[in-house]
Structure 1
Amino acid sequence: MPVKHHGVLVIQVTMLKCGAMVIASLYDHHVADGYSTNLFASSWANITRSEEPLIIPYLRPSVLNVRYPTHYTPTVANMFIPLSNLPSLPSDPGTKSDLDQDSLVSRVYYIKGDQIRKLQQLASDIGYRRSKIVSFASFLWKITAKFLEDSCHFDFMCNIAVPVDGRLRLSEGEGVEKQKLLAARLGNVVSMPFRGIQSKVEDQRPNVLICRPFAENVKALSIMLSSGLKFSLTDNMDFGWGKPVLILSHAPATRTDCHVMPMASPINVEDWVVYMHLGKKHLDYLEERAGHVFKPLTPHYLKLSLSPRI
């Protein structure tokens, strides 16, 4: 991954001995979310093939203007705190638990479509079918809670935060024109799905807010689960040499929070490829107890030849 010293975006191209290349981009999440990155990369690929950009970005902030007077519930008020108000962390390493000291590592898995359907079936009630991402979030929460229990961390909370893209919700009932403008909105419109959060953010300007479960110095294992399943990266990402073998999210080594992101598989439309940035003990536990769900991504699954070019 490249290192961003300044600016919003940095791109690094790495040439491999086999003749392939890796294109890595690192962007400032304050400015752009995954949806925006998808639009940028897909349009960039189109332009290299002398085609029109996927979409013309809409940059005016007025489309996100909050209603006045502002109003939000106590739940929203208590869920977010200013970044400047973060509690101080204990300076003595001896006061930290073994989970706090467990190093975060990145691993990539794939989940077969039949396993995803089983999770959905288990999470759904009679007459009510839950989405695949909600079903997966429920499974991840349950097995993480079991991990805490089996590792004797009975006093730890287990939090799974699922941010959503606000473009659809903020344009709901506002007419077709606003839907088109928000669909082309280049920026960061991803947040926790709490009604009234816009008002909370407006009232706190210019303070930067952070979700409380990820901020306070409490005994908790919190995971940010972001879905990239609706990104059309594989379909549109062609720089003139054909479609990519694999597209992934990646958390920089400096990122100290837990992050999970499922994306569509390039091999089978029913499968998922899941990037995980979690504690090593946690990942080892997932592989041991849920190896039927989380299968390590291999060149064999991606149908890659391991024979080097000369």
Structure 2
Amino acid sequence: MGIAAEESRAFHVTTVRKDVVTALLPLQEHWLALSNLDPLLPPLAVSVCFCYKKPNSLTSSLAINNTLKKALAEVLVTYYAFAGEVVTNSTGEPELLCNNRGVDFVDGFADVALRELNLYDPDESIAKFVPKNKHGVISIQVTELKCGSIVVGSTFDHRIADAYSANMFFVSWAQMSRSEPISLVPSFRRSLLNPRRPLLIDSSIDLMYMPVSSLPPPQETCGQDVLTSRIYYIKSDVMNQLQALASSNGFRCTKLESFSALLWKLVAKHARKYPRKITSKLGIVVDGRRRLADQETDKKESNMKTYFGNVLSIPFGGRRVDDLMEKSLSWVASEIHEFLNGAITKDHFLNLIDWVETQRPKPAVSRIYSTGSDDGPAVVVSSGTGFPVNKVDFGWGPPVFGSYHFPWGGSAGYVMPMPSAAGNGDWVVYLHLTQGQLKFIEEEASHVFKPLNSDYLKI
């Protein structure tokens, strides 16, 4: 593996203070059931991190933390789900108790400068700035660096919120910190995702999802098969060239399809140790909000746009490794487009909601989440292109870097491309793949995947 910055080094984060921030106004305690799309997520912790250059010298770290806590207390009045806790109900299902237990808030100090951070290796850098979520739904950590820069990290329970929901929260928290009204008021109307009566079950869902109890036992990994996280950047002109190569015969694929096609070819090419006819799988996370709204009424469209919870599906396709290796990038992109087409519809999400109704209270999961010993490599691409990194400005300027951190624990790889904080069309890409796959990708596609470093971030 390459080293992102020569000056990067080991560092320590010291906890200065711990608080619990509750909603500013008293809330009526109540229960909020999970929707039929929430049980498709295991109890996974998702982290996100924002790095800021040193604020104005007149602003002390104490004043910054007090401002953030005050704004958090205010925004939790509206985003009350994040102030609750997950409990198990009488049927054995998780449920959200909205009791304003509050958000664990950690103040920290790190003996490292912003420029010295090796963000290319988030397991050694970002992981120290995001808290363990031990009690509530979300936890916050604000860390001052020795250079005066600030890192805001957070970890939340994926069963309660997807990245879209968390993004709404971070933007609203930043707006409140700047003494501005929040632009997106979350909707917690679970009835928007109620199953149909009678239920209509499509057999295609059984091919995509299965009960958690049917998951194969986890496989032991070692050496080059250990899953590891890395962060790269991809220049906008390279993405444009990739999109042009992946488009053919009058069909113009999206940048996400183009990127996923390249990634799938690389993962397949690395799998030379497998029999050539083995199948490799690739899944892409799809947000169903716009599909379910379907512009039926302006009100429903608005409610779905601001719906807080999980509205995700993970369609995937399996293709032979030798086909992925030998056929063109445009062929792979068209194969991705084909399996996506069946799942970017309103009917797919309605079928999925109805299917989950037949499974409850048993939790279910996408079949690509775990692979068996006879399967080829699998990877899930989650579209983070809507990551509002430049909007998370708490009053001292937008971040110079932001990224999700999601070493999810599955045997399949996980990848999330996001917009660069530079706002120039570049991508920042989080990869959670095996060490062998990462090394191979760096060797084969160094012109595309550039290890993130302080020079690129201009810090």
Query: Does the Cα contact within 8 Å between 1:229 and 1:263 map onto a contact in 2?
Result: yes
State how 1:167-186 maps to structure 2 within 5 Å: 167-186=289-308
Match of 1:70 among 188, 194, 199: 199
2:164 corresponds in structure 1 to 35
Aligned length: 296
Runs of at least 5 residues in structure 2 that lack an aligned partner in the other structure: 1-129, 316-342
Report the identity percentage. Answer: 41
Structure 1, unaligned stretches of length 5 or more?
A: 305-310
| Distance verdict in 2 for CA 1:36–1:175, change over 3 Å | same
Alignment-mate amino acid for residue 136 of structure 1: F
Cα offset, 1:253, TM superposition: 7.5
Deviations 1:140-184 (A, max 9, x none): 1111111112x4553643211101111000111422211100111
Q: CA RMSD in A?
A: 1.9
| 1:73-152 → structure 2 map (5 Å cutoff) | 73-89=202-218, 102-149=225-272, 151-152=273-274
Q: Distance in 2 between matches of 1:170 and 1:253?
A: 27
Which amino acid letter does the alignment assign opposite residue 220 of structure 1?
Answer: G
Q: Residues of 2 paired with 1:108 and 1:120: CA distance?
A: 21
Which residue is equivalent to 2:382? 226
Distance 1:185 1:202 in 2: 20
Mapped to 2, the partners of 1:163 and 1:253 lie a distance apart of 14
Distance 1:39 1:268, change over 3 A: closer
* Superposed displacement of residue 123, structure 1: 1.4
Partner-residue secondary structure (3-state), 1:223: strand
| 1:295 correspondence with 2:446 | no
Name the amino acid aligned to 1:114. D
TM-score normalized by structure 2? 0.61
The residue that corresponds to 1:187 in the other structure is 309
CA distance in 2, matches of 1:285, 1:161: 21
CA distance in 1, matches of 2:218, 2:401: 38
Give 1:307's aligned residue.
Answer: none
Residue 8 of structure 1 corresponds to: 137
Which residue pairs with 1:211 in the alignment? 366
Cα distance in 1 for residues equivalent to 2:275 and 2:398: 45
* Contact 1:156 1:221 (8 Å CA) reproduced: no
1:191 and 1:79 map into 2 onto residues whose CA distance is 9
In 2, the alpha carbon distance for the partners of 1:139 and 1:89 equals: 28
Deviations 1:32-67 (A, max 9, x none): 000011000000011111111131111120111222
Residues 186 and 308, structure 2, Cα contact 8 Å, conserved in 1: yes
- How far off is 1:89 after superposition? 4.5
Partner of 1:197: 352
Q: What is the TM-score when the length of structure 1 is the normalising length? A: 0.90
Match of 2:10 in 1: none
One-letter amino acid of the structure 2 residue matched with residue 181 of structure 1: N
Q: Which has the larger radius of gyration?
A: 2
